[in-house]
Amino acid sequence: MNSVAVQTVVGLVDGAVTLPCEASRPDPDDKLELVLWYRLGSKLPVLHLSPPALVLSSLRQLDRGVYVCRADFIQSPSRVGVTNLTLIGRPPPKLLWYWRGHLLDNTFENGPAGAVRNTLTLHHLARTDLRSELSCAASNSNLTEPRTTTLRLQLLLPPLDVSLSQLPDHLRAKVTYRVTCTARGSRPAARIRWLRGAYSPIVSGIRELPSADPNITVSELTLTADVGEDSLELTCLAENAQLPQRAAISATRSLPVHYPPQILLQIGRTLVASDIKEGNDVYFDCQVRANPPVTELSWYHQGKQLVSDRRSNVMIIDRSLVLPNVSRHQAGSYTCGASNAEGHNQSEPLLLQVMYLPRCQIEQQTVFFLPGRSFELRCQLQARPTQVRFKWDVNSTATEYRRAPLTRFSTSGSSSSVQHRLDSEESAEVRCWGSNAIGLQRTPCIFHLEPAGVPEPVQGCTVSNSTITSFDVRCKPGNDGGLPQTFVLEVRDVNTQQVIHSVSQKKAEFHVRGLSPGANFSVTVFASSARGRGQPHVLQVGTVTMIPDRIAYSRSAAAGPVAAVLGGLVLLLLLLAAAVIVSLRRRLPRRGPLKTAEQEAPEVTGSGRDQPSPDLLPTGSGARSLSGFSDCSVVSSPHQMTANYKSRLKRTDEDMFESADHVIPNPLDVYGHRSVDPVRTVGSLGRDPARSRSAHMPTSAAYRTFSDCGRLTVQDRDHSAV
């Protein structure tokens, strides 16, 4: 291996230097292909150049060292050259630190290879030092400007303060609040944590709010207090995550929590709820938790508020309810209620069950029986426990007090029934007892057995709503004799005594329909039971009679427009007939003076049938004749007709009854005139004689009147009837 000569090249700091490379061609015909420069100790080439020289500028002390040059030819072997670069700069520079224009540190030291170093350590930096500028100046001559480098001071700062906001004076349970925590002065931004109480971190309901100031961090917490928390301690922690050695700062608030009373009702600790017997002393404790404190406490039994009353065995002592010598009537649901400023609450119901001896639901009963027929007796008791064992006995003789047990009976819980039969009419007495886990019933249930009687007659029967085909009958029931009774109504024809209508029902109220107009009936009402029939109550009832004019009028009024036309035609025919009659009368010779209507025409019943009142009429001698309105009379003048009408009113005024339903239009006279006062039916009621007697009558030569006979009688001037 051939040795290589080392060349030395000297350069100045901050100057430039050219390092030569021995790359002469050994063969003039050969060509240089590549020149590579290496710095000693480095495997990678520094440069690969076609010109062989290496130029370095702005030299630094670090540029010192040995450089190797390798020249590659196309044909000839490579040639290597070595150059040692040495830098010189004298005297060595001074390194000084300046802060805000003032010299801070002038101590420096010379390092290896001519390097100079000044290390600055700052203590007790303050927040005001943030972004301060530090300058390092190097100088070795007063003739040149010092070289300077400047840096800006950045600081890691912990938060200065932390605060809670948007908090009320107190919290209400189950109400949502939004609370904010603000941290100031941290670089970078502070990390905020929330605590509920002293150690319970809050991880949900938190969000960071944007802030225009990078030194301010705002965190918002959605908070809901729970019922039962009298106080809630809320803590906000702020810290700089890049300063773990610095403790977090915090802000804490303790807030009272208001909520309605929370109530727990318990039976006394010394009592067993399933073993309360009548006569025991019972007490309840009402445990209340509330904020603010309770202002009112109340007790309820079956929803009804209780008050302290020794006579009622109720004592309220502080938050306890005492029931000394408890009775079965005090069993049931109990609640305790409490109120404060937040509202009113009641406890869950507590059921008090009181065990007691069996008692009769009905202590004494009277039962009616039919001799020879079986009947059932049901003994129903009130007891707790409800499983009851029964005992029955009977005293079946009224002359001797002798009792015999009844062994054939059925039992279901607190109810028992027995089938019994008495063959005689004598009274008897049956008793039943019950016993349960508490003991034997003290007083038996007694059934007084009495033979049933026949129902009593109905009373006070009245007839109403009479029409031409129907009427209503209503009676007051009598005593049923001890057995269920029904009421029977029978309607008989007064002439044939044949039953034409019969009905049986539970109430003594009947509506009879489908009868013949103007007929009289015998109505029988009686009560009936398994024991027999009661005495009948007999009524004489008649339906209303419709006279022809009334019938024609009623049909005309109900027929509509067609009937009105037909009625007009009939009226026209009647007028023509009347005109013919008048003409014939004028042609007949006069035979003498006119007689009065009462001398000429006798009283005639239109139908040959008495017209009873539609109201209830008693049988026998109490019936009255109503013939005063049932004749057909002829009068010759309106004055005579009025006088005749008045005389009849005098005879029958006490027998007439007025009903507006029975008023019919006035009949027409032979000239087609209509009288002012209406003619009334037999059933019409006439309790206003003054109005009837003052009625105005028409002034025609001849008149007609209608009654039950339905005929028209006309008296002409020659006293002959047409």
pLDDT of residue 562: 55
Same domain, 379 and 500: no
Residue 120 exposure: Cα atoms within 13 Å on the Cβ side: 16
Residue among 271, 268, 258, 281 at smallest CA distance from 173: 258
Q: How many CB atoms lie within 10 A of CB 120?
A: 12
Average pLDDT over residues 639-667: 37
> Amino acid letter at 75?
Q
Domain harbouring 245, CATH code: 2.60.40.10
pLDDT confidence band for 647 (50 / 70 / 90): very low
According to the model, what pLDDT value does residue 90 have? Answer: 64
The closest of 699, 666, 670 to 578, measured between CA atoms, is 670
Q: What is the pLDDT of residue 565?
A: 65
Compute the average pLDDT of residues 588-616: 38
Of the candidates 480, 507, 535, which is a domain's last residue?
535
Q: What's the chain's average pLDDT?
A: 79
pLDDT-based confidence at 582, cuts 50/70/90? confident
Task: Name, in order, each residue with C-beta under 8 angstroms of 210's C-beta and a sequence gap of 6 or more.
Answer: 218
Residue 384 within a domain: yes
User: What does the pLDDT read at residue 708?
Assistant: 37
Of 331, 352, 373, the domain-final residue:
352
Question: 541 in a domain, yes or no?
Answer: no
User: Does 67 fall in a domain?
Assistant: yes
User: Could you tell me if residue 668 is inside a domain?
Assistant: yes
Q: Is the pLDDT of residue 36 over 60?
A: yes
Would residue 706 count as lying in a domain?
A: no
561 shares a domain with 636: yes
3-state helix, strand, coil in the chain (%, to 5): 15, 40, 45
What one-character-per-residue DSSP string does 161-190 give? EEEEES--SSEETT-EEEEEEEEES-BSPP
pLDDT digits (tens, 9 = 90+) for 247-272: 999 999 999 999 999 999 999 999 99
Residues 437 and 558 in one domain: no
| Domain closes at, from 390, 415, 450 | 450
Domain count, the chain: 7
Query: 432: which 2 tokens?
Result: 């039943």
pLDDT digits (tens, 9 = 90+) for 383-437: 999 999 999 999 876 555 677 888 899 999 999 999 999 888 888 999 999 999 9
Mean pLDDT, residues 203-214: 92
Q: 182 and 247 share a domain?
A: yes
Per-residue pLDDT, 86: 83
- Residues 335 and 517: their CA atoms lie apart, in Å, by 71
**How many other CB atoms sit within 10 Å of the CB of residue 635?**
24
- Same-domain check for residues 554 and 666: yes
Reduced to 3 states (helix: H, G, I; strand: E, B; else coil), residue 664 is: coil
Tokens of 477: 């029931």
Mean pLDDT, to the nearest integer, of 614-629? 36
Q: Which of 683, 712, 658, 711 is nearest to 545 (CA)?
A: 683
pLDDT for residue 696 is more than 60? no
Q: How far apart are CA 93 and CA 117, in angstroms?
A: 10
- How wide is the angle at C-alpha 354 spanned by C-alphas 348 and 360, nearest 5°? 130
- The pLDDT of 640-664, averaged and rounded, is 37
Decide if pLDDT at 680 tops 60: no
**Cα distance between residue 252 and residue 236, in whole Å:** 6
94-108, 368-382, 554-568: lowest mean pLDDT where?
554-568
Together in a domain, 422 and 467: no
Is the same domain home to 281 and 365? Answer: no
Q: Which residues contact 362 (CB under 8 A, 6 or more apart)?
A: 380, 445
> Does 721 fall in a domain?
no
Can you tell me the mean pLDDT for 611-624? 37
pLDDT confidence tier of residue 305, bands split at 50, 70 and 90: very high
pTM summary value: 0.50
Q: Are residues 385 and 472 in the same domain?
A: no
**pLDDT score of 295:** 95
The verdict on 554 and 525 lying in the same domain is: no
Residue 116 lies in a domain: no
Residue 571 is part of which domain span?
Answer: 549-693
Mean pLDDT along residues 456-475: 94
Q: Which residues contact 607 (CB under 8 A, 6 or more apart)?
A: 518, 545, 630, 708, 709
Q: Which residues are 492's β-sheet partners? A: 499, 522
Q: Which of helix, strand or coil describes residue 65?
A: strand
Whether residue 237 lies inside any domain: the answer is yes
**652 and 586 both lie in a single domain:** yes
pLDDT of residue 214: 86
Q: Are residues 245 and 188 in the same domain?
A: yes
DSSP state, residue 715: B
DSSP designation for 227: T
How many helices (DSSP H) and strands (DSSP E) are in the chain? 5, 47
374 lies in the same domain as 337: no
The per-residue pLDDT for range 130-180, each reduced to its tens digit, is 889 999 998 876 656 788 999 999 999 999 999 999 999 999 999 999 999
Mean pLDDT highest for which of 333-337, 532-536, 668-672? 333-337
DSSP letters spanning 527-555: EEETTEEPPPEEEEEEPPPPPHHHHHHHH
